[in-house]
């Protein structure tokens, strides 16, 4: 990884996505013909240079190396014309992937079978186990941050909220992480000394979403999100989640309706193994969720239908969340 390449080494083609993070474009590396994705670093205040979140993301990605973590292959700086007062644009360069998981699940022409889901789930857990062993929390696990290619490989992407941590000291961290539909109950109640268990909750939500075909907890506010979670995962009690009443935002929450837990009953139609693993991942008490290395030993991966082999995966049509949004808008 040497310096930055000139922007002219690449030719932009189509836009793949846009959001608060900036824009993502598909491009071709002119000399090799390799397809790449260019993610523009959004400059909110040019005078201060690169945002700290971008520096953190670049630094983290360059320190990680795993088959299921998206690799940062290059950096680009695009200078505006001579005399321009505009700051240069900075891009991160990643390999192009044909899909993100949200786009795949929203494509009505695509149906994931259980063996496909098991393959993707196993790769997601392998990448997460590596992250957590490297003392990195992703902090934004969601379907649209998982990239997939037509060779059957899944990549964890978008490390804009990720951070390294020291497992020996539990420091206060911001609770403003994780997209609401994938946010675990401890964050919804204001926990600041959270652990890697927040990523495991997100993996539970993603696994359920792959089975059902849509996100399972679609809250329209933080309070409504807590209610959606508890309708399936049950209301917290001192037995199911010791210490939950001591969480900072607990006093801001009106008394919950009393719900019984029925995670197994909700998902048993996808098989006993799927229901059992989801029951473990979607525990209200973060201490009761398995870590990624433990989840990889679950019997779901060792019973029929076995996880598909990457080379046996069907070649799906290119499906990105941005494309599905455009189609819906039209």
Give the pLDDT confidence of 101-116 residue by residue, as tens digits: 999 999 999 999 999 9
Per residue in 216-244, pLDDT (tens digit) is 999 999 889 999 999 999 999 999 999 99
The per-residue pLDDT of the chain, averaged, comes to 90
> Where do the CATH 3.30.200.20 domains begin and end in the chain?
5-95
For strands 5-6 and 74-78, give the pairing.
Answer: parallel
Task: Select the more confidently predicted residue: 48 or 160.
Answer: 160
Residue 1 scores a pLDDT above 60: no
Distance CA 260, CA 95 (A): 45
Residue-level pLDDT at 83: 65
d(CA 100, CA 37): 12
- Ranges in the chain annotated CATH 1.10.510.10: 99-312
Query: Measured between alpha carbons, how far is 89 from 76 in angstroms, rounded to an integer?
Result: 8
**pLDDT value at residue 60:** 94
How far apart CA 8 and CA 27 sit, in angstroms, is 11
| Residues involved in catalysis | 140
pLDDT of residue 151: 94
Question: Helix 114-133 and helix 197-212: axis angle, to 10°?
Answer: 170
The tokens for 45 are: 């205040």
Mean pLDDT value of segment 30-54: 85
**Which is higher by pLDDT, 78 or 294?**
294
Nearest to 209 by CA among 291, 124, 95, 316: 124
For 28, counting Cβ atoms within 10 Å of its Cβ (0-12 exposed, 13-18 middle, 19+ buried), the class is middle
CATH superfamily of 99-312: Transferase(Phosphotransferase) domain 1 (1.10.510.10)
Question: In whole angstroms, how far apart are CA 78 and each of 38, 47, 83?
Answer: 12, 17, 14
Residue tagged 């995670």 (tokens): 263
The domain at 5-95 falls in which architecture?
A: 2-Layer Sandwich (3.30)
Q: Which residues pair with 38 in a beta bridge?
A: 25, 93
Query: pLDDT at position 268, please?
Result: 97
Supply the pLDDT for residue 46.
63
Q: Report residue 2's pLDDT band, with 50, 70 and 90 as the boundaries.
A: low
User: Mean pLDDT lowest for which of 73-87, 90-104, 112-126, 239-253?
Assistant: 73-87
Q: In whole angstroms, what is the distance from residue 267 CA to residue 272 CA?
A: 8
Angle at 150 between CA 139 and CA 200, to 5 degrees: 20
Instruction: Give the model's pLDDT for residue 251.
Output: 75
Please state the pTM of the whole predicted model. Answer: 0.93
Find the mean pLDDT for residues 143-156.
95
The phi and psi torsions of 87 (rounded to 5 degrees) equal: -70, 150
pLDDT given for residue 329 in this prediction:
67
At residue 50 the predicted structure's pLDDT band, cuts being 50, 70 and 90, is: confident
Whether pLDDT at 71 is above 90? yes
pLDDT of residue 87: 74
Average pLDDT (316-323) is 79
**191 has a pLDDT exceeding 80:** yes
């Amino acid at each position: 990884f040497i310096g930055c390449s000139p922007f002219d080494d690449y030719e932009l083609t189509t836009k793949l996505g846009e959001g608060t993070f900036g824009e993502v474009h598909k491009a071709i590396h002119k000399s090799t013909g390799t397809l790449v994705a260019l993610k523009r670093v959004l400059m909110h205040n040019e005078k201060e240079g690169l945002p700290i979140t971008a520096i953190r993301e670049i630094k983290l990605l360059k320190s990680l190396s795993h088959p299921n973590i998206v690799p940062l292959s290059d950096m680009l700086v695009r200078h505006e014309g001579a005399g321009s007062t505009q700051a240069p644009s900075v891009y991160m360069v990643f390999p192009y992937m044909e899909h993100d998981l949200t786009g795949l699940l929203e494509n009505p022409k695509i149906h994931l079978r259980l063996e496909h889901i098991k393959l993707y789930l196993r790769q997601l857990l392998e990448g997460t186990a590596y992250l957590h062993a490297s003392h990195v929390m992703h902090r934004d696990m969601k379907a649209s941050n998982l990239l997939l290619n037509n060779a059957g490989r899944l990549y964890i992407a978008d490390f804009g909220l990720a951070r390294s941590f020291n497992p020996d000291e539990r420091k206060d961290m911001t609770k403003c992480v994780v997209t609401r539909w994938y946010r675990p109950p401890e964050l919804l109640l204001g926990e600041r000394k959270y652990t890697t268990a927040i990523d495991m909750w997100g993996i539970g939500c993603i696994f359920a979403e792959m089975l059902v075909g849509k996100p399972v907890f679609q809250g329209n506010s933080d309070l409504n999100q807590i209610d959606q979670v508890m309708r399936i995962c049950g209301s917290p009690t001192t037995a199911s989640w010791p210490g939950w009443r001591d969480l900072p935002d607990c006093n801001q929450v009106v008394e919950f309706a009393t719900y019984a837990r029925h995670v197994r009953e909700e998902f048993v139609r996808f098989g006993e193994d799927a229901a059992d693993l989801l029951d473990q991942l979607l525990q209200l008490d973060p201490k009761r969720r398995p870590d990624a290395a433990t989840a990889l030993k679950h019997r779901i991966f060792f019973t029929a239908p076995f996880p598909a082999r990457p080379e046996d995966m069907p070649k799906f049509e290119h499906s990105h969340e941005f494309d599905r949004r455009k189609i819906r808008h039209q």
